[in-house]
Structure 1
């Protein structure tokens, strides 16, 4: 047979160029076909077993239309179900219609159910109680009003009562107060003013006026009713002694923006009955507060905006679970911006990472530090790079919790700044003088980044955006980040994970499920893709399967105790005892605005026995707070079991 001749280099180059020209023509003429082909190739690649073993896999969760809500808060209940709380969902129409929503998702059956939501718990605070109930406190009493929408000048009025006689005085909504110049202002709600109190000082009886605050709106539009100096007002219609004893005082009445007003309702959500159970009210109205459980079982509520949209000046309070009521905690006065990132330490102190959601002073309360809540002493922690970029950052107690290391990730400038940072910082709280040290940079500048502890002692970081609320960042109208990465503390490095397909920014959450997957939801962009129209809240839900779920058979837990005491040893039966390398207690997440005071992973000492393993729980309540945990066994290939639920007492 005559051998075939090989084309010369010139002929091959000409042929290749001709092919490229033909392909270029095909691309231009058939853009949809090319895009479809690229999509098909991408789908093929990400579904290969070898790809999933290395990078993991994302899948959309089919959510029935009637159960699509604006996920503002999310928590994993000890029933294994996910509580998704919208409240009014950052939707003024829903707020005015009192349409408040809560949905429960069951990962075991993929079923959704609706839960009656009594008040607007939008932007409340929450944390788990030792019995597994979720304490939810605060929320929204009123929506913001932008300056351009303020037609009637408004402000906060103090109604004072200098009479100790006659008891409290109630004034209806619309009560008129008159200025010295005759301008009239109407109360926005009814208000009850307590009587004055008689007090004795050095033998002299003194009267301290009772007072109550209320919003007032000018009766007339325009600038004439604007007041920028403190002034006194008379209550229309009062005569005689009442006219002398009852009056209004206000510092200013303006057309300025009116912030969201906090609510003071408080509930325990019962995972078994799946109902909100009303408790005693908060002492203060709170919007954007942080709740954190303390070693004795009490819960501390800090920060938030009050009912008039003013940040609380360091006035904190405690919840007493046995009594279902809140009490003032003047001994723990400390100012924080809203939604501060707080983490309970092994010794019972509280670490403030510096992460926050933004409302508050641009200087006060933003420095990280260790807070001794027994003596109300605060020791600042230095060393954080980009210290002015902690707003909308994330922080997490790294696994295992025994290492007492906290990592802060990303963040942005104060307010509606377009700037963000790739910076991470890690602090070892066991050091004599803790200080942040640089961690590995994120692949891209990120704010609103979700962080999820995985059973193999790694941390999934996903979602977020580079710009404020997913908006403009360095010329790009939408800045959502689809890249995900896994931080490995042992190597102090990130490894690349599969990319998500749904953008997550402000008002988004990510939670570890009992089967080892991660559910992600929410996202509230300021603008759409064009950067000109208002954004739409993201109601799609995605689930990420980490690489360990594609790396061989999973170990099984066949039996274990329903509860265990701190310091005690428990027997976990498993047919895979010979390959079990570690055991972890992972506290279920309760997250909003990338703030999660519950999330932690505790290492258990492990002894293999015939047919099972014996695990010992650490004895420190600051390391292992009382409550429900997911117990995972992890084999020598890094593959975790499905979790066994256990209550630590």
Structure 2
């Protein structure tokens, strides 16, 4: 922590007896709390590292020192490297002139361990677009069960950076293979969408399901907001693709989709696989395995497993309305099973609110974070808390958005930490934050609050070290050959460790590989595992009981000391 920085503060319901009650339609009154002061946490910040592309991928017009690269999409790989997609441009900050705006869609690998200087040169990967102007910007993305990364849709540009620029969606998907750092196009196109725009998706959401399928939800067909929303939902099955069959299966047509699932602005629908699906008795006669929230702020529960009509696939819970819109909010599925919805553009009060929805009881709770944020990032941490970073706001929004905050998913306590040092600027729209394999957090990109133009986001990244790494000795998993194989519902797996003891509750956890952009992570997941310690230095871990708790695929396993210090993570392949 920087010397002389302000102390962290803690927000808890009724901490000072000061409460603000909001009357909200279809909800009980929400109690917003004040804050008190807590002992500072010893978190730390790495340097700001600027990204450049000095390769010959795009030699025409390349500036001295290489293109400036803005990171927007980020996916953690099992190796610990990060797959990043964004834009490159000629100038660092002069984005008003035609020649200074975004020029090249760029995807590259970033090794966090090598972020030691003030700049880092990136090496672009061929994105395998079917057209020269096709980019992965604003695609849906997330890992598959076999380790590849699915990118659904994306953008095609006409007159990029010029007067009359148009942004269109794409009707095909691409697969990234970490084994050889390459992309391939999926031969069969997507199918859902409006008439004469079938399959076209921009801003769709990818959600890994309990099986080999990925749910691809919504998005837009082109720039213009919800008027051009794609209300269809389809499944992608990589096993069918590998067998030479059509991997796409439309389960909700555009005509049968619901407008409430679509963001009002250029954003992603927040979609979650529920760890405990609602049984038919509480799901209007059908099980509900998925929750989603769009721009209206209304939670929808969804059934993807049965052959049902549109009317039966969707369920609108009686109290599912947040009481504020969802535009510009961030969200996460918490370890408690609740869904966090934080901030947003609806109002200054909404901007500083953290709302918690319980799909099992159809109830909401709320706390005041005392920092108003639009387009924040939320990151699940291995100690079970959720980290809130970044965001922008309007002049009537309160608080310093450079300050990280953590939220306890059980008590809903909010802890505000010191602002990042040596950098007066925010990270607004198009920022990201991602949990790394070593327990630190990578953040980057985002519009500076003084810059309003999309395409002029910050061309840099930096690493944040949460305070939990300074609480005491760090436990270590030793003699581990990665990837560790686990089977859902299978036998215990033994690990050897040093620097115990392991904390008794939530001491061994699996963290799904984050895949984040635009304030929403399409793949992060926290799973606490049962374990026991037969002898000091050995822990036996019970795999997850079912695929709703933990879909098959790659995870990072952490053990935590009795002080809450996480080990460095180890790659686990869950079958």
Same fold (TM over 0.5): yes
* 1:357-396 paired onto structure 2 within 5 Å: 366-374=297-305, 375=308, 376-383=312-319, 387-396=323-332
Q: Secondary structure at the match of 1:108?
A: helix
Please give the alpha-carbon distance, in whole angstroms, between the structure 1 residues aligned to 2:234 and 2:467: 43
The alignment status of 1:291 with 2:214, answered yes or no, reads no
1:315: Cα distance to partner? Answer: 2.1
Q: Which residue of 1 aligns with 2:174?
A: 267
Q: Which residue of 1 aligns with 2:136?
A: 121
Q: Deviations over 1:395-449 (max 9, x none)?
A: 11112xxx32111111113xxx898522221122233xx22x2221122221111
Secondary structure in 1 matching 2:526: strand
Determine if contact 2:352/2:368 at 8 Å carries over to the other structure. Answer: yes
Q: Which residue of 2 aligns with 1:645?
A: 571
Going from structure 1 to structure 2, the CA distance change for 1:343 and 1:518 (only over 3 Å counts) comes to same
Task: Indicate conservation of the 8 Å contact 2:150/2:176, yes or no.
Answer: yes
Contact 2:375–2:391 at 8 Å: present in 1 too?
Answer: yes
Matching residue within 502, 508, 511 for 1:586 = 511
Q: Report the aligned-residue RMSD.
A: 3.4
Q: 1:46 to 1:572 in 2, by over 3 A?
A: farther
In the superposition, the TM-score normalised over structure 1's length comes to 0.66
Measured in 2, the distance between the counterparts of 1:316 and 1:647 equals 28
Structure 1 equivalent of residue 345 of structure 2: 412
1:566 aligns with 2:488: yes
Residues matched between the structures, number: 471
Secondary structure in 2 matching 1:116: coil
* 1: CA distance, partners of 2:405 / 2:160: 39
Aligned residue in 2 for 1:80: 80
Equivalent residue in structure 2 for 1:512, among 432, 435, 440: 435
Higher helix share: 1
Q: Name which structure has the greater RCO, CA cutoff 8 Å, separation 6+.
A: 2
Report the secondary structure of 1:439's partner residue.
strand
| C-alpha contact (below 8 Å) 1:286/1:305 kept by paired residues | yes
Of residues 101, 109, 115, the one that matches 1:104 is 109
For 1:385 and 1:285, how far apart are their aligned partners in 2?
29
1:342 aligns to what?
271
Q: Deviations over 1:100-131 (max 9, x none)?
A: 21121112343754322333111111121001
- Is the partner of 1:72 in helix, strand or coil? strand
Map 1:54-453; keep pairs closer than 5 Å.
54-63=41-50, 65-66=52-53, 68-87=68-87, 99-110=104-115, 112-119=122-129, 120-142=135-157, 260-280=167-187, 281-283=189-191, 284-306=199-221, 311-324=228-241, 325-331=246-252, 333-335=256-258, 336-338=261-263, 339-347=268-276, 349-356=288-295, 366-374=297-305, 375=308, 376-383=312-319, 387-399=323-335, 403-413=336-346, 421-431=351-361, 434-435=362-363, 437-453=364-380
Whole-Å Cα distance in 2 between the matches of residues 66 and 326 of structure 1? 35
Matched residues in 1 for 2:565 and 2:431: separation? 28
Q: Which residue, out of 381, 389, 392, partners 1:454?
A: 381
User: Tell me, which stretches of 5 or more residues in structure 2 are unaligned?
Assistant: 8-37, 55-67, 130-134, 192-198, 278-287
Report the CA distance shift for 1:601/1:557 in structure 2 as closer, same or farther (over 3 A): same
Q: Distance in 2 between matches of 1:143 and 1:95?
A: 17
- Residues 330-364 of structure 1: CA deviation (Å, up to 9, x unaligned): 456423214110110124544445255xxxxxx6x
TM-score under structure 2 normalisation?
Answer: 0.74
Q: CA 1:516–1:382 in structure 2 vs 1: closer, same or farther (change >3 Å)?
A: farther
Q: Find the residue that maps to 1:54 and give its secondary structure.
A: coil
Three-state SS of the structure 2 residue aligned to 1:71 is: strand
> Which of the numbers 519, 528, 538 marks the counterpart of 1:603?
528
Q: Is the 8 A contact 1:444 1:466 kept in 2?
A: no
- Judged with a 3 Å threshold, the aligned counterparts in structure 2 of structure 1 residues 408 and 94 are, in CA distance, closer, same or farther, namely farther
Post-superposition offset of 1:551: 1.6
Distance 1:314 1:44, change over 3 A: closer
1:495 CA drift (Å): 1.0
1:612 aligned residue = 538
SS at match of 2:545: coil
Q: What is the DSSP-based 3-state SS (H/G/I as helix, E as strand, rest coil) of the residue aligned with 1:60?
A: coil
Q: 1:73 to 1:534 in 2, by over 3 A?
A: closer
The alpha carbon displacement at 1:507 in A equals 0.6
SS at the partner of 1:591?
strand
Asked if residue 496 in structure 1 is aligned to residue 416 in structure 2, the reply is: yes
Structure 1 residues 556 and 94: CA distance shift in structure 2, 3 A? farther
2:23 aligns with none
What's the offset of the Cα at 1:498? 2.5
**Aligned counterpart, 1:542:** 462
Cα distance in 1 for residues equivalent to 2:369 and 2:158:
35
Larger radius of gyration: 1
Change (3 A) 1:129 1:481: same
Shift of 1:139: 0.9
Preserved contact between residue 300 and residue 314 of structure 2 (Cα < 8 Å):
yes
Change (3 A) 1:418 1:607: closer
